[in-house]
């Protein structure tokens, strides 16, 4: 037998809710120069109410409700190394926190880029390395199951994120990933669905919001598996 999942999603929340059919997404202004990007990133919904039913042979069945994040990647290949974090649900007002960081090979350069999306009641904040005035500092350890990321953006906005999961919860290891020469799992990626995230956002030093979110996805891939 095979694992079967049936999910019904309602109430799409677009990347930019005021312009749900607009072109703006995770890549921001850089999407206009897509020919220069080895990997594209598109988000259909940052938070959709979901009802699901899953059946796993030899394990059993489960059903329930929650909040879904729907996205995809496409292009030539993944970065040389990457980190991905996603979580949300009721702790974020049925919204979403998404963090993706990667070291890309673009010609002779290998820049480290970050995209952070926070959607919560009254908040629609983005932080991108490619945006003027945005700066990041980070520390990550695949071996320790940890990520720490601080970002500042034009206008005095800042975000602090820490994510941590016990190494034993990274049940999905050696996951196959796309490269410029085909799929490989050496190195592939490792991921857990049990990370706990702490997130705080400030504007000109004033605390705007702070959350603790359990059961988040945390993934390390490529050369970052050696950290």
**pLDDT per residue of the chain (227 residues) written in tens, 0 to 9:** 799 999 999 988 888 877 777 667 888 877 777 666 778 888 999 888 899 999 999 999 999 998 889 999 888 778 889 999 999 877 666 668 999 999 977 667 788 999 999 988 888 999 999 899 999 999 999 999 999 999 999 999 999 999 999 999 998 778 888 877 888 888 899 999 999 999 999 999 999 999 999 999 999 999 999 99
pLDDT for res 76 = 78
pLDDT of residue 198: 95
Edge-to-edge strand list for the sheet holding 39-56: 4-10, 39-56, 60-75
CA angle 151, 78, 125 (to 5 degrees): 25
pLDDT at 32: 73
- 108: Cβ contacts below 8 Å, ≥ 6 apart: none
For residue 185, give both structure tokens. Answer: 């799992």
Give the integer Cα–Cα distance in Å for 93 and 90. 5
Nearest partner of 160 among 66, 96, 97, judged by Cα: 97
Q: pLDDT at position 183, please?
A: 87
| CA dist., res. 145 & res. 56, Å (int) | 27
pLDDT value for 2: 92
Domains of the chain: 4-226 (2.40.370)
Q: Report pTM.
A: 0.89
CA angle 82, 44, 101 (to 5 degrees): 15
Residues 6+ apart with CB under 8 A from 143: 167, 227
Find out whether the peptide bond into 187 is cis, omega within 30 degrees of 0: yes
């Amino acid at each position: 037998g095979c694992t079967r999942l049936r999910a019904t999603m309602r109430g799409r929340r677009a990347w930019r809710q005021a312009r749900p059919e607009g072109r703006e997404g995770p890549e921001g202004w850089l999407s206009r120069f897509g020919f220069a990007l080895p990997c594209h990133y598109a988000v259909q919904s940052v938070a959709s109410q979901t009802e699901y039913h899953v059946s796993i042979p030899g394990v059993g069945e489960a059903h329930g409700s929650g909040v879904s994040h729907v996205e995809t990647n496409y292009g030539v290949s993944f970065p040389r190394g990457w980190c991905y974090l996603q979580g949300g649900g009721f702790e974020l007002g049925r919204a979403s926190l998404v963090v993706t960081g990667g070291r890309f090979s673009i010609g002779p350069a290998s820049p480290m880029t970050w995209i952070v999306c926070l959607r919560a009641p009254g908040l629609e904040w983005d932080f991108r390395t490619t945006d003027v005035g945005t700066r990041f500092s980070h520390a990550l350890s695949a071996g320790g199951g940890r990520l720490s990321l601080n970002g500042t953006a034009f206008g005095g906005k800042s975000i602090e994120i820490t994510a941590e999961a016990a190494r034993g919860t990274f049940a999905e290891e050696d996951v196959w990933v796309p490269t410029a020469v085909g799929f490989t799992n050496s190195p592939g990626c490792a991921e857990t669905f049990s990370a706990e995230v702490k997130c705080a956002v400030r504007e000109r030093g004033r605390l705007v919001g702070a959350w603790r979110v359990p059961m988040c996805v945390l993934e390390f891939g490529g050369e970052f598996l050696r950290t």
